[in-house]
Amino acid sequence: MATKKTGVKVAYKFIDGAHFFVGEDKEALGLCVAHADLATAWAEVPYQLNVLFEQNHGKKTNFAPNMPFDAFKKMIDAFLLVVKGTGVDEVIPSSIQPWMYQENKGLV
């Protein structure tokens, strides 16, 4: 089975106590995952991207983040510590991360 590895950009934002992951490029438009627990929201992103791609593009895919969850969480925690030290509450942590996928051409 031939596979092609590529990716989409997914934006992360922490807003009003919820961790949001939103599609940031044309291929991922429509993605919006949010949960109070970062690990839960993170785990839902690849599932939703797989469903979104099958519905919108007719492609069977297998999405995975480009960095492990623990590394992403450390990055967000570090950002929150820096923001907390500034005394400015209006700063919203955000990041754009690539989520890679392999297109299963034999399943299309």
42: which residues sit within 8 A by CB, 6+ positions away? 19, 21, 65, 69, 72
Q: What single string gives the DSSP state of each residue in the chain?
A: --EEEEEEEEEEEEETTEEEEEE-SGGGTT-EEEESSHHHHHHHHHHHHHHHHHHHH---EEEEESS-HHHHHHHHHHHHHHHHHHT-TT---EEEEEEEEEEEGGG-
* Structural domain span for residue 40: 3-107
- For 30-56, write each residue's pLDDT tens digit: 999 999 999 999 999 999 999 999 998
pTM of the predicted structure, to 2 decimals: 0.79
- For 6-29, write each residue's pLDDT tens digit: 789 999 988 888 999 999 888 888
Domains identified in the chain, total number? 1
